[in-house]
């Protein structure tokens, strides 16, 4: 087997050196009744060429985003990632290193994490960031638990603009905690819900996504004010990190915890994972933060170096008193994010964001002219919601048959029915062209005719 | 002069005269100092060429950012150099033996990387129409079939994002199953030798943790489990047990333990972190487990990436299968139905909720399936056997000089030493491990498990050749002899030759500096006449 260096001679010699007569003696602790002689029902080894052929055949059955006009977002976005990023993250020293437990020989990973944390903190307008979460959805659930620890209250209020699957993750995690309560508002495509009325003295945190799942931009300031007046925290969520290039940061609007999905920078769509959760907060809450944190220090010769720090919050030290059970996070995805962010810089990110917004407004104008189609959002970034006269899931399937992936029918994620059944969340990034938009409008016209 | 068996000098300074001077740059030839991007970047530059946006009317309402984004950029060549230089300060499995116990640092085949990057996997969106991604579900389903067959179970929740997330998923399913029976139970039993994630997960799911002491031979006895079950009658929801355990031993009484917890109405959660030792040798389902996560980034070689991403699918017993979280694939013969929301559920499907947005770690599924197919049933079994042979080879190569806490008995895929052999040498486990760095090795897992003094847990994996192990054993023997000969200079303050010496972790924690902040401009006092 090509991955195994030992030869049969090696094995025999080594067993002799170990002092056993057969390999079975090394497995003697496994009760005889359950010990296997071989694995039946399963295929045997394959050559590299055979594996490549078989998996490529599976891949070829899928329609890839780059092969047609593509407008699907709703929490994951197709962006152009510079070739440099993927080359660098495949350096052996990054790809095949473990969590940096031995800082003397993992300064590469650690310095990159320190830079990542700085980028995330500056981008979100917060004071500190951690070294990543699994993704935006699990990060949001961790943010709610963190707010419960800080406020010693257990009621979370979730905006109806929060990604429905993020909401489900939060509800699932909270439901298992004694006394925890999640108050989820109804779907809110246009950002008109009265979330302020839901905040009271029992509220631990308010979770608001902007741009919302439906694309609507939300003013966080009044929500932060009301939350703070009731000693509750504002958790600001985003799924499109590029939006921060053009929008006022959540930190500047008074958020206490900012959590979001970082996939858009450096990371391919990959059918939903692995992604990278961004997580930032105020300095005063840092010891309640989940996840790994990298900090600056000096070595025995006084040279600057970096280490994982504040680990007394973590499971390997605090066990059942830890702030989170997270161990492995999204190291390599955070590196990809950081490299892409380094190439862009603040100025590049702003320009990229502007191109995204420009393309989205152009798409909204184009689709808005199709008879029967209404664009719902008053203010949006690179994603918005349209209402069509036909059921959205049928429209999307018909568009796909015409070679356009036109967005996400809200009803795929939210089954509350009614008006929702006719809504489509549509995203447009820098990858879309005038031809893509024209093809979408034409196909939509035909589907709705 | 000390030589290893290959005749290489093993002492610093013996290869020639010491460094004659400090360099101007602080660099030492290939060992280069690299500033932070914030110290070398440009606010007015960009490493990505982007078209100038045309004039258009923004629709951002009042939400437009007025401040610039405070982040510098590097051009493409500068970026390349920055990260290549950083990378060279990292140890990696591609560069050398990485014997971190319980971490399974094995070879990461590049075929897996290549296949994960096929556009049909890397460039597909989790919410594009299901009809446009049949190959994605085919792949997930095939991997799921392998995982169920290898573990002897009939259900698997694929979506958890890492091992600890898988634990959380399994424990949430258990809690849900108990509630569905109309019961309330508050306690989870966890052996003292467990990974920290086990008690942390139990607490996260709302349980109280009760520890089970280990026997003097490093394993858990069924009597100790029964004692705790009786002490908390009717309250024990589950037992969380790692098998093979963190001492590198297969739990011989695991079947009886499973039976005891089941008879008490509880569930058996198995931490599958050490599954690499027994793939193809035993099926956890046959041992009586109700849930076990599989770290695809350990057993099935998806790369660790300096701390993730991982992937932690959880196999489930028939008792827990109904509670598997959304989304899941329902198989009707050859047809795959994708169940994403509650309205699609059929009778008997009672998911407890959802672990994550979308479908989990697709990129890791591709790599794992590529690894599994390459090995096949015969190769997977061989890999486990080789991992166990290698660990035992290290054990017998060192057991006369180092100390085995549980005697000279075979181990599974990792071997645990304690610090008895360092007694009276003035050298600690930490010093010993740090001295390994100067020899070009990543240290083993230290001070874990907590049940033995100064633990050193070595997991060589099946990826090491005999020659590699011989040199590793010879190196450790030389270090032990050195420690016993009182050569403390080799250990105190080690490592001496790494890109950084020991780092001040105390100050890092007491006065945390967690991001770069521009230094205040130095104020120059006007010179007095």
DSSP string, B114-169: HHHTSHHHHT--TTS-GGG-HHHHHHHHHHHHHHHHHHT-SEEE----SHHHHHHH
Share of chain A above pLDDT 90, in %: 92
ipTM: 0.98
**Position A404 pLDDT exceeds 80:** yes
Interface contact B495, partner A, CB < 8 A: yes
Burial degree of B181 (CB within 10 A; 0-12, 13-18, 19+):
exposed
Cβ contact, residue pair B83, A91, below 8 Å: yes
Of B86, B200, B412, the CB nearest to A325: B200
Contact B64, B58 (CB under 8 A): yes
Cβ contact, residue pair B378, A45, below 8 Å: yes
Cβ contact, residue pair B123, A64, below 8 Å: yes
Interface contact B275, partner A, CB < 8 A: no
Range with the lowest mean pLDDT among A305-319, B89-103, B186-200, B483-497?
A305-319
If you ran DSSP here, which 8-state letter would residue B403 be given?
Answer: B
Q: Which pLDDT tens digit goes with each residue over B102-122?
A: 999 999 999 999 999 999 999
Q: What are phi and psi of B292, to 5 degrees?
A: -150, 130
Q: Distances from the Cα of B459 to the Cαs of A18, A259, B119, B220, B402, in angstroms?
A: 16, 36, 36, 21, 16
Contacts of B72 (CB under 8 A, 6+ apart): A345, A346, B37, B38, B40, B41, B42, B43, B45
What pLDDT does A99 receive?
Answer: 95
Interface contact B280, partner A, CB < 8 A: yes
Q: Which pLDDT tens digit goes with each residue over B419-445?
A: 999 999 999 999 999 999 999 999 999
Best of B95, B356, B442 to disrupt the A interface (most A CBs within 10 Å) is B356
B389 neighbourhood in chain A, CB within 8 Å: 6, 11, 14-15, 18, 23, 26
Contact B247, B193 (CB under 8 A): yes
Q: How far apart are CA B416 and CA B449, in angstroms?
A: 9
Of A297, A315, A415, the CB nearest to B505: A297
Cβ contact, residue pair B354, A316, below 8 Å: no
Best of A273, A283, A391, A447 to disrupt the B interface (most B CBs within 10 Å) is A273
Q: How far apart are CA B290 and CA B301, in angstroms?
A: 24
Q: Which residue of B has its CA nearest to A310?
A: B509
Q: Which pLDDT tens digit goes with each residue over B366-396?
A: 999 999 999 999 999 999 999 999 999 999 9
HSE (side-chain half, CA atoms, 13 Å) at B394: 33
**Position B11 pLDDT exceeds 80:** no
Q: Which residue of B has its CA nearest to A353?
A: B53
**Position A321 pLDDT exceeds 90:** no
CA dihedral A161→A164→A168→A171, nearest 10 degrees, is 10
Taking CB atoms within 8 Å and a gap of at least 24, the contacts of A301-306 are A301/B501, A303/B500, A303/B501, A305/A103, A305/A107, A305/A110, A305/B500, A305/B503, A306/A103, A306/A107, A306/A110, A306/A111, A306/A113, A306/A114, A306/B503
Three-state secondary structure along chain A? CCCCCCCHHHHHHHHHHHCCCCHHHHCCCCCHHHECCCCCCCCECCCHHHHHHHHHHHHHCCCCHHHCCECCCCCCCCCCCCHHHHHHHCCHHHHCCCCCCCHHHEHHHHHHHHHHHHHHHHHHCCCEECCCECCHHHHHHHHHHHHHHHHCCCEEEECCCCCHHHHHHHHHHHHCCCCCEEEECCCCCCCCCCHHHHCCCCEEEEEEECCCCCCECCCCHHHHHHHHHCCCEEEEEECCHHHHHCECCCCCCCCCEEEEECCCCCCCCHHHCCCCEEEEECHHHHHHCCCCCEEEEEECCCCEEEEECCHHHCHHHHHHHCCCCCCCCCHHHHHHHHHHHHHHHHHHHHHHHHHHHHHHHHHHHHHHCCCCCEECCCCECCEEEEECCCCHHHHHHHHHHCCCECCEEHHHCCCCCHHHHHEEEEECCCCCCHHHHHHHHHHHHHHHC
Q: Which residue of A has its CA nearest to B92?
A: A97
- Does residue A190 have a cis bond before it (omega within 30 degrees)? no
Q: How far apart are CA A172 and CA B325, in angstroms?
A: 10
Interface contact B321, partner A, CB < 8 A: no
Cβ contact, residue pair B53, A63, below 8 Å: no
Of A272, A345, A362, the CB nearest to B73: A345
Of B163, B305, B466, the CB nearest to A331: B305
Share of chain B above pLDDT 70, in %: 95
Q: How far apart are CA B321 and CA B309, in angstroms?
A: 26
What is chain A's mean pLDDT, rounded?
Answer: 96
Q: Which pLDDT tens digit goes with each residue over B290-308?
A: 999 999 999 999 999 999 9
Q: Could you say which residues from 379 to 408 on chain B have a Cβ atom under 8 Å away from some Cβ of chain A? A: 379-383, 385-386, 388-390, 392-393, 395-397
CA A347 centroid distance within chain: 23
Cβ contact, residue pair B501, A300, below 8 Å: yes
Cβ contact, residue pair A165, B357, below 8 Å: yes
Best of B75, B81, B127, B206 to disrupt the A interface (most A CBs within 10 Å) is B127
A62 neighbourhood in chain B, CB within 8 Å: 120-121, 124, 132-136
Of A45, A103, A173, the CB nearest to B379: A45
Cβ contact, residue pair B126, A269, below 8 Å: yes
Best of A1, A97, A340 to disrupt the B interface (most B CBs within 10 Å) is A97
CA B41 centroid distance within chain: 33
Burial degree of A42 (CB within 10 A; 0-12, 13-18, 19+):
middle
Of B201, B357, B191, nearest to A323 by C-alpha is B201
CB-CB neighbours of B58 under 10 Å: 14
Burial degree of B347 (CB within 10 A; 0-12, 13-18, 19+):
exposed
Q: Coil, strand or helix: which one is B415?
A: strand
What pLDDT does A323 receive?
Answer: 82
Of A78, A435, A65, nearest to A242 by C-alpha is A78
Q: How far apart are CA A196 and CA B468, in angstroms?
A: 65
Of B401, B435, B434, nearest to B419 by C-alpha is B401
Q: Which residue of B has its CA nearest to A174?
A: B205
A71 neighbourhood in chain B, CB within 8 Å: none
Of A39, A121, A415, the CB nearest to B341: A415
Q: How far apart are CA B145 and CA B157, in angstroms?
A: 12
Contact B90, B306 (CB under 8 A): yes
Three-state secondary structure along B360-375? CCHHHHHHHHHHHHHH
Q: Which pLDDT tens digit goes with each residue over A407-434?
A: 999 999 998 888 899 999 999 999 999 9
Cβ contact, residue pair A128, B396, below 8 Å: no
Q: How far apart are CA A274 and CA B484, in angstroms?
A: 47
Of A177, A229, A222, A185, nearest to A203 by C-alpha is A229
Of B69, B195, B374, the CB nearest to A245: B69
Q: Which pLDDT tens digit goes with each residue over A39-86?
A: 888 999 999 999 999 999 999 999 999 999 999 999 999 999 999 999
If you ran DSSP here, which 8-state letter would residue B321 be given?
Answer: G
Interface contact B345, partner A, CB < 8 A: no
What pLDDT does A179 receive?
Answer: 86
Burial degree of B423 (CB within 10 A; 0-12, 13-18, 19+):
exposed
Cβ contact, residue pair A332, B303, below 8 Å: yes
Q: What are phi and psi of B215, to 5 degrees?
A: -70, 170
* Mean pLDDT (whole number) for B273-290: 97
Check the CA dihedral B426-B432-B435-B439 and report its sign: positive
B132 neighbourhood in chain A, CB within 8 Å: 62-63, 400, 405
Q: How confident is the model at residue B522 (pLDDT cuts 50, 70, 90)?
A: low
Interface contact B351, partner A, CB < 8 A: no
Interface contact B115, partner A, CB < 8 A: yes
Three-state secondary structure along B194-254? CCCHHHHHHHHCCCEEEEECCCCCCCCCHHHHHHHHHHCCCCEEEEEEECCCCCCCCCCCH
Q: How confident is the model at residue B4 (pLDDT cuts 50, 70, 90)?
A: low
Q: How far apart are CA B278 and CA B435, in angstroms?
A: 32
Of A135, A93, A123, A355, nearest to A262 by C-alpha is A135
Interface contact B166, partner A, CB < 8 A: no
Report pTM.
Answer: 0.96
Interface contact B440, partner A, CB < 8 A: no
A178 neighbourhood in chain B, CB within 8 Å: 206
Cβ contact, residue pair B342, A48, below 8 Å: no
Q: Coil, strand or helix: which one is B97?
A: coil
Shortest Cα–Cα distance, B473 to chain A (Å): 13
Q: How confident is the model at residue B22 (pLDDT cuts 50, 70, 90)?
A: confident
HSE (side-chain half, CA atoms, 13 Å) at B146: 26
Take residue B483 and report the two structure tokens written for it.
């420690």
Shortest Cα–Cα distance, A286 to chain B (Å): 10
Between chain A and chain B, the number of residue pairs with CB atoms below 8 A apart is: 725
Q: How confident is the model at residue B1 (pLDDT cuts 50, 70, 90)?
A: very low
Q: How confident is the model at residue B529 (pLDDT cuts 50, 70, 90)?
A: very low
* Mean pLDDT (whole number) for A209-230: 98
Take residue B141 and report the two structure tokens written for it.
């389903």
Residue pointed to by tokens 């192990």:
B469
For Cα atoms B275, B281, B287, give the angle at the middle one, nearest 5 degrees. Answer: 70
Q: How far apart are CA A342 and CA A309, in angstroms?
A: 24
Of A25, A67, A134, the CB nearest to B162: A134
A57 neighbourhood in chain B, CB within 8 Å: 135
Q: How far apart are CA A318 and CA B197, in angstroms?
A: 10
Cβ contact, residue pair A299, B340, below 8 Å: no
């Amino acid at each position: 087997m090509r991955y195994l260096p030992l030869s049969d001679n090696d094995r025999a010699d080594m067993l002799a050196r170990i002092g056993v007569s057969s390999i079975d003696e090394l497995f003697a602790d496994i009760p005889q009744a359950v010990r296997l002689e071989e694995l039946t029902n399963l295929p045997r080894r394959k050559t590299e060429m055979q594996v490549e052929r078989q998996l490529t055949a599976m891949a070829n059955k899928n329609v890839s985003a780059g092969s047609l006009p593509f407008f699907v977002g709703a929490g994951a976005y197709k962006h152009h990632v510079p070739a440099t990023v993927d080359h660098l993250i495949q350096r052996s020293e990054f790809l095949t290193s473990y969590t940096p437990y031995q800082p003397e020989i993992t300064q590469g990973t650690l310095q990159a994490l320190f830079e990542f944390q700085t980028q995330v903190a500056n981008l979100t307008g917060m004071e500190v960031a951690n070294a990543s979460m699994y993704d935006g959805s699990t990060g949001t659930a961790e943010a709610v638990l963190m707010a419960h620890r800080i406020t010693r209250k257990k009621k979370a209020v979730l905006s109806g603009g929060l990604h429905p699957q993020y909401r489900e993750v939060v509800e699932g995690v909270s439901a298992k905690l004694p006394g925890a309560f999640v108050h989820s508002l109804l779907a809110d495509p246009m950002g008109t819900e009265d979330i302020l009325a839901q905040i009271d003295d029992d509220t631990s945190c308010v979770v608001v996504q902007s741009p919302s799942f439906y694309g609507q931009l939300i003013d966080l300031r009044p929500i932060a004010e009301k939350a703070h007046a009731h000693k509750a925290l504002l958790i600001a969520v985003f799924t499109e990190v590029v939006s921060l290039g053009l929008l006022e940061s959540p930190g500047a609007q008074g958020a206490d915890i900012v959590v979001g999905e970082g996939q858009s920078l450096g990371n391919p769509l990959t059918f939903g994972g692995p992604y990278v959760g961004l997580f930032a907060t105020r300095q005063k809450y840092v010891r309640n933060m989940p996840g790994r944190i990298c900090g600056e220090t000096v070595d025995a010769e006084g040279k600057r170096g970096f280490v994982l720090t504040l680990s007394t919050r973590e499971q390997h030290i605090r066990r059942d008193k830890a702030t989170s059970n997270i161990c492995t996070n999204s190291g390599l995805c955070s590196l990809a994010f950081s490299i892409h962010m380094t190439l862009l810089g603040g100025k590049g990110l702003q320009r990229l964001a502007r191109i995204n917004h420009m393309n989205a407004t152009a798409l909204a104008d184009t689709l808005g002219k199709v008879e029967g189609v209404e664009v719902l959002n008053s203010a949006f970034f690179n994603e918005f919601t349209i209402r069509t006269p036909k059921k959205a899931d049928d429209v999307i399937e018909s568009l796909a048959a015409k070679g356009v992936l036109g967005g996400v029918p809200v009803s795929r994620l939210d089954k509350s029915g009614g008006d929702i059944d006719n809504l489509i969340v549509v995203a447009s990034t820098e990858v879309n062209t005038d031809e893509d938009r024209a093809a979408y409008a034409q196909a939509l016209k035909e589907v709705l005719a | 002069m000390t030589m290893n068996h290959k005749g290489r000098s093993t002492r610093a300074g013996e290869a020639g005269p010491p460094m004659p001077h400090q360099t101007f740059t602080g660099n030492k030839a290939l060992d280069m100092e690299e500033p932070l991007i914030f110290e070398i970047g440009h606010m007015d530059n960009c490493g990505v060429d982007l078209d100038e946006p045309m004039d258009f009317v923004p629709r951002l309402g009042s939400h437009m950012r007025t401040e610039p984004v405070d982040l510098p950029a590097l051009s493409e060549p500068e970026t390349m150099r920055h990260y290549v230089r950083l990378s060279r300060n990292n140890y990696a499995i591609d560069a050398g033996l990485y014997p971190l116990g319980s971490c399974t640092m094995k070879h990461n085949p590049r075929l897996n990387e290549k296949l994960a990057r096929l556009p049909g996997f890397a460039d597909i969106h989790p919410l594009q129409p299901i009809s446009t991604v049949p190959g994605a579900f085919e792949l997930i389903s095939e991997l799921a079939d392998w995982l169920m067959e290898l573990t002897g179970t009939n259900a698997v929740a694929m979506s958890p994002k890492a091992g600890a997330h898988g634990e959380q998923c399994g424990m949430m399913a258990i809690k849900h199953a108990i509630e569905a029976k109309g019961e309330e139970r508050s306690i989870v039993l966890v052996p003292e030798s467990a990974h920290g994630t086990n008690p942390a997960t139990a607490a996260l799911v709302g349980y109280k943790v009760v520890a089970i002491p280990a026997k003097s031979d490093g394993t858990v006895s069924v009597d100790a489990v029964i004692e705790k079950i009786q002490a908390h009658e009717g309250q024990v929801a589950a037992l969380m047990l790692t098998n093979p355990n963190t001492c590198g031993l297969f739990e011989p009484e695991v079947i009886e333990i499973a039976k005891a917890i089941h008879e008490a109405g509880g569930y058996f959660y198995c931490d599958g972190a050490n599954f690499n030792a027994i793939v193809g040798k035993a099926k956890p389902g046959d041992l009586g487990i109700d849930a076990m996560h599989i770290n695809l980034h350990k057993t099935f070689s998806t790369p660790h990436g300096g701390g993730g991403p991982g992937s932690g699918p959880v196999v489930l017993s028939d008792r827990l299968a109904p509670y598997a979280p959304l989304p899941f694939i329902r198989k009707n013969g050859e047809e795959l139905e994708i169940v994403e929301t509650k309205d699609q559920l059929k009778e008997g499907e009672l998911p407890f909720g959802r672990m994550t947005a979308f479908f989990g770690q697709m990129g890791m599924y591709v790599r794992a399936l590529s690894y599994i197919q390459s090995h096949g049933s015969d190769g997977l079994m061989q890999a486990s056997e080789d991992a166990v042979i290698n660990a035992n080879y290290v054990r017998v190569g060192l057991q006369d000089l180092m100390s085995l806490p549980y005697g000279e008995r075979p181990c599974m895929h990792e071997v645990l030493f304690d610090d008895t052999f360092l007694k009276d040498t003035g050298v600690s486990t930490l010093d010993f491990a740090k001295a390994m760095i100067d020899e070009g090795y990543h240290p083993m897992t230290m001070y874990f498990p907590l049940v033995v003094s100064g633990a050193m847990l070595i997991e060589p994996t099946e990826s090491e050749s005999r020659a590699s192990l011989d040199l590793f054993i010879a190196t450790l023997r030389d270090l032990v002899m050195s420690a016993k000969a009182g050569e403390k200079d080799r250990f105190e303050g080690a490592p001496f030759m790494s890109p950084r010496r020991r780092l001040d972790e105390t100050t890092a924690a007491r006065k945390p500096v967690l991001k770069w902040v521009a230094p205040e401009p130095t104020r120059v006092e006007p010179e007095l006449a």
